[in-house]
């Protein structure tokens, strides 16, 4: 079955194509479906599929930003809105959730991921699926989902997109697989393998991955679709010598739908005639696709929810904009707030400066039907609420399409600086505080958007340092799809916020946080490096045989650098609020947990500041000894707790023996008796720990 960018139905399409990629719009999809069913012999409805990644017309923050809300409920809501807007535009299935675990922010597609943790990625993948599909994909405003890119695509060596991945089965099973398994356990209707060669064999033609794991072990019975032209790429990978061999390898591995490339159509009949692909294999693929179309109700109603009137009414409605605004506020991570320079006060005069101050480029490359012109800029979000003076100055806007050489030329070109810097001087001298909106263009992340230098453009950094030298507090807001190197920016800023690519209501959501209308509650789901040289960098790493005793560069002959600290600039789970919280020590209901049993762990949390705030209390576990070396910490739970100033509350977690299991290659999920550490704290660096022992009650 082919999936094509079909715009005009003709004989070729009616005989070769069963689904359409990227064609959306109620009128268009209705017209194409009608023509197709009229012309085709088999009268099997087309499946309309597209990339609804974080919104359809109302665009939410990029997934890496949404993930920082630590709210699967919010993600489920945004997915449900996305499904509603997409379904009335004739979409039947989205190529989402993207469940790739990422530890290297050079990789451009980190923007589409939810970060470096398998537990959190699993919660989010399930939430996306539930939001898109509900309990029944044939229900109104629901669409089917396709989890991608199975598997390990985010581990592309050197952060280069499409590059080789070499991942042990231990790492795959305990880090890269869980979010895919969670999506499938939540009922996800399709799987898309990654472009990457995994341990020498491209995922598109990797029988171990698709047959042994996906079909046999996980019992996944729905369709598998190749990524765009991935079948052609089997030749480039050097796995196949021709498109015919590529079609044979992909079909026999278990690819049911070929996306865009046409080898199945061109070679399928001959392969079957030559017995290189069995009719049983083809029948099984066709059956899976027909079943999906049936589950969507397309045989009863090939147009499902496509409705031009509903489109008009539902797209960008105020409820959807309100959710986008809430999402943007909850995605912002407050990284620094010296002297409580935030939140802003009404009577303060603010100079708003920088290339993202009044910039509508707040959408990443997977913006679906979102339109920049419909975005709310930071200036528009602030204008009616505080005395903000926008210093127009030279925008320092880099042309995202320019080449590497030009980027550095632009950076070196300081000619315009003098003029535009002087134009800021007036604004700066007359203001109480400066908000400086900086970042990287959306096109510098996303697919094929890998960067070797993850820095802010030099001219932006120069502007920041110049404004910092004015002596006025500088509140720097970073708009970027990926974590950037922010050490210098942090040092020169009084306050620093990571705003990601915040979507249609980005300006309002960020303004809500800056003015205190919304209280910052974002927490990082990916480590921010001090330097790109630390990558890949992640909190849940193995201890090594020579762990450092402290975070220093002087301790030789332990695992680290002689010229940089091991620690990230900002760790997984990190984020500030406008208040402060105090954690008590951990209280355990028992020091021993029995197989199949539970123990309770509790702390007392107190808001010791002057603002209300939401703390994301995080629970980490560490297995001190096992058949495999185990990570120094693994996130196993969290609770978001809102407290007023001075309020205290007990926060407790139930620790189950099941949480202590891990997947041992060849043995499956395994529970190993022994000593464990349990951490409850503010982020992945917490030292607030207690110890307990797991005992097995019966010989397995
Ligand atoms: C792209 C991406 C994939 C997307 C597909 C269809 O190349 O890798 O994530 O779903 O093509 O647009």
Query: What are the tens digits of pLDDT across the range 83-111?
Result: 999 999 999 999 999 999 999 999 999 99
What pTM, to 2 d.p., does this model score? 0.96
Average pLDDT of span 373-402? 73
Do 2 and 286 touch, CB atoms closer than 8 A? no
pLDDT for res 386: 85
Least confident of 243-247, 249-253, 291-295, 422-426: 422-426
- 98 Cα nearest atom in ligand 1: 9
Nearest CA to ligand 1 atom 11: 228
- 96 Cα nearest atom in ligand 1: 10
Cross-strand pairs, 653 = 601
Tell me the three state secondary structure of residue 312: helix
Q: How confident is the model at residue 151 (pLDDT cuts 50, 70, 90)?
A: very high
Q: Catalytic residue at 227?
A: yes
Do 638 and 620 touch, CB atoms closer than 8 A? no
Do 497 and 335 touch, CB atoms closer than 8 A? yes
In tens, the pLDDT along 412-460 reads 333 345 666 666 777 788 899 999 999 999 999 999 999 999 999 988 9
- 149 Cα nearest atom in ligand 1: 9
At the topology level of CATH, where does 333-515 sit? Rossmann fold (3.40.50)
Residue 224 has pLDDT above 90, yes or no: yes
Segments in 254-337 forming alpha helices (H): 263-273, 279-295, 308-314, 318-331
In tens, the pLDDT along 534-546 reads 999 999 999 999 9
Q: What percent of the chain has pLDDT over 70?
A: 93
Q: How far is the CA of 151 from the centre of ligand 1 (A)?
A: 14
At the topology level of CATH, where does 2-311 sit? TIM Barrel (3.20.20)
Which has the higher per-residue pLDDT, 693 or 416? 693
Residue 8 has pLDDT above 60, yes or no: no
On the question of a common fold for 2-311 and 333-515, the answer reads no
Q: How confident is the model at residue 393 (pLDDT cuts 50, 70, 90)?
A: low
pLDDT for res 414: 37
**Options 227, 305, 364, 663, the catalytic residue:** 227
95 lines ligand 1 (CB under 6 A): yes
- Architecture of the domain delimited by 581-695: Sandwich (2.60)
Q: What percent of the chain has pLDDT over 90?
A: 89
148 lines ligand 1 (CB under 6 A): yes
112 lines ligand 1 (CB under 6 A): no
CA distance 515 to 435: 12
Cross-strand pairs, 390 = 352
In tens, the pLDDT along 522-536 reads 999 999 999 999 999
pLDDT for res 531: 98
Q: How confident is the model at residue 3 (pLDDT cuts 50, 70, 90)?
A: low
228 lines ligand 1 (CB under 6 A): yes
Q: What is the mean pLDDT of the chain?
A: 93
Q: How far is the CA of 96 from the centre of ligand 1 (A)?
A: 10
Residue 108: closest CA among 291, 365, 346, 297 = 365
Nearest CA to ligand 1 atom 7: 228
Q: How confident is the model at residue 515 (pLDDT cuts 50, 70, 90)?
A: very high
Handedness of CA 382, 388, 392, 393 (dihedral sign): negative
In tens, the pLDDT along 597-636 reads 999 999 999 999 999 999 999 999 999 999 999 999 999 9
Which has the higher per-residue pLDDT, 124 or 354? 124
Nearest CA to ligand 1 atom 8: 227
pLDDT for res 427: 77
In tens, the pLDDT along 573-602 reads 999 999 999 999 999 999 999 999 999 999
Q: How confident is the model at residue 222 (pLDDT cuts 50, 70, 90)?
A: very high
Q: What's the 3-state SS for 92-161?
A: CEECCCECCCCCCCCCHHHHHCCCCCHHHHHHHHHHHHHHHHCCCCCCCCCCEEEEEEECCHHHCHHHCC
pLDDT for res 399: 40
Distance from the Cα of residue 523 to its chain's centroid: 14
pLDDT for res 12: 63
Q: How confident is the model at residue 404 (pLDDT cuts 50, 70, 90)?
A: very low
pLDDT for res 426: 76
To test the ligand 1 pocket, which listed residue (226, 232, 447, 449) has its Cβ within 8 A of the most ligand atoms? 447
In tens, the pLDDT along 189-219 reads 999 999 999 999 999 999 999 999 999 999 9
153 lines ligand 1 (CB under 6 A): no
Give kind and range of the element (H or E) at residue 16: helix 11-16
Q: How far is the CA of 228 from the centre of ligand 1 (A)?
A: 6
pLDDT for res 412: 36
pLDDT for res 580: 98
The domain limits of the chain are: 2-311, 333-515, 581-695
Total Cβ atoms within 10 A of residue 668:
10
227 lines ligand 1 (CB under 6 A): yes
Tell me the three state secondary structure of residue 338: helix
In tens, the pLDDT along 304-337 reads 999 999 999 999 999 999 999 999 999 999 999 9
To test the ligand 1 pocket, which listed residue (6, 98, 204, 227) has its Cβ within 8 A of the most ligand atoms? 227
CA distance 526 to 547: 21
Q: How confident is the model at residue 232 (pLDDT cuts 50, 70, 90)?
A: very high
pLDDT for res 697: 79
């Amino acid at each position: 079955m082919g999936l094509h960018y079909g715009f005009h139905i003709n004989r070729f399409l009616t005989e070769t194509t069963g689904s359409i990629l990227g064609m959306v719009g109620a009128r268009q999809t209705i017209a194409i479906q009608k023509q197709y069913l009229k012309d085709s012999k088999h009268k099997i409805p087309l499946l309309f599929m597209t990339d609804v990644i974080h919104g359809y017309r109302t665009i939410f923050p990029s997934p890496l930003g949404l993930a920082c809300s630590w709210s699967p409920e919010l993600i489920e809501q945004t997915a449900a809105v996305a499904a509603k807007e997409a379904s009335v535009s004739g979409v039947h299935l989205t190529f989402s959730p993207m469940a790739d675990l990422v530890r290297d922010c050079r990789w451009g597609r980190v923007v589409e991921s939810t970060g470096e943790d398998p537990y959190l990625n699993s919660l989010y993948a399930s939430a996306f699926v539930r939001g898109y599909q509900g309990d029944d994909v044939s229900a109104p405003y629901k669409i089917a989902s396709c989890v991608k890119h199975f598997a390990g695509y985010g581990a592309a060596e050197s952060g280069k997109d499409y590059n080789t991945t070499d991942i042990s089965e231990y790492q795959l099973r305990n880090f890269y697989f869980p979010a895919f398994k969670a999506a499938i356990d939540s009922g996800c209707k399709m799987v898309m393998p990654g472009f990457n060669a995994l341990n020498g064999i491209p995922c598109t033609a990797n029988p171990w991955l698709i047959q042994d794991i996906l079909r046999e072990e996980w019992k996944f019975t729905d369709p598998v679709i190749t990524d765009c032209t991935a079948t052609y790429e089997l030749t480039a990978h050097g796995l196949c010598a021709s498109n015919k061999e590529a079609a044979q390898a992909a079909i026999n591995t278990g690819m049911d739908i070929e996306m865009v490339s046409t080898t199945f159509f061109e070679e399928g009949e001959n392969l079957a005639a030559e017995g290189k692909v069995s009719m049983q294999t083809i029948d099984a693929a066709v059956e899976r696709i027909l079943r999906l179309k049936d589950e969507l109700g397309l045989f009863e109603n090939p147009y499902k929810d496509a409705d031009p009137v509903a489109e008009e009414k539902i797209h960008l409605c105020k409820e959807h904009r309100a959710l986008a605004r809430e999402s943007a506020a909850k995605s912002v991570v407050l990284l620094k707030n010296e002297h409580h320079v935030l939140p802003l006060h009404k009577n303060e005069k603010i100079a708003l400066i920088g290339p993202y101050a009044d910039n509508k480029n707040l959408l990443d490359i997977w913006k679906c039907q979102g339109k920049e012109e419909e975005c709310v800029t930071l200036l528009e979000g602030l204008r009616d609420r505080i005395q903000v003076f926008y210093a127009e100055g030279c925008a320092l806007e880099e042309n995202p399409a320019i080449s590497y050489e030009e980027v550095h030329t632009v950076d070196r070109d300081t000619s315009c600086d003098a003029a535009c810097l002087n134009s800021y001087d007036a604004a700066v001298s007359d203001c109480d505080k400066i908000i400086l909106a900086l970042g990287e263009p959306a096109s510098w992340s996303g697919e094929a958007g890998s960067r070797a230098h993850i820095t802010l453009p030099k001219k932006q950094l120069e502007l920041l340092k110049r404004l910092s030298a004015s002596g006025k507090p500088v509140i720097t807001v970073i708009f970027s799809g990926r974590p950037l190197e922010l050490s210098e920016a942090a040092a020169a800023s009084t306050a620093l916020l990571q705003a990601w690519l915040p979507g249609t209501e980005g300006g309002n959501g960020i303004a809500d946080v800056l003015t205190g209308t919304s209280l910052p509650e974002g927490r990082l789901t990916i480590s921010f490096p001090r330097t790109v040289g630390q990558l890949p960098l992640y909190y849940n790493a193995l201890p090594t045989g020579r762990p450092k005793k402290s975070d220093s560069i002087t301790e030789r002959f332990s695992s680290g650098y002689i010229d940089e600290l091991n620690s990230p600039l900002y760790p997984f789970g990190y984020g500030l609020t406008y208040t402060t919280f105090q954690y008590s020590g951990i209280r355990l209901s028992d020091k021993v947990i029995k197989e199949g049993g539970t123990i309770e762990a509790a702390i007392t949390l107190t808001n010791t500041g002057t603002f209300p705030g939401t703390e994301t209390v995080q629970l980490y576990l560490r297995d001190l000894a096992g058949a495999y070396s185990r990570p120094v910490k693994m996130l196993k739970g969290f609770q978001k707790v809102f407290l007023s100033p001075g309020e205290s509350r007990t926060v407790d977690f139930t620790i189950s023996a099941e949480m202590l299991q891990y997947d041992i290659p060849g043995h499956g999920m395994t529970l190993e008796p022994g000593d464990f550490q349990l951490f409850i704290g503010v982020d992945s660096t917490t030292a607030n720990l207690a110890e307990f022992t797991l005992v097995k009650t019966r010989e397995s």
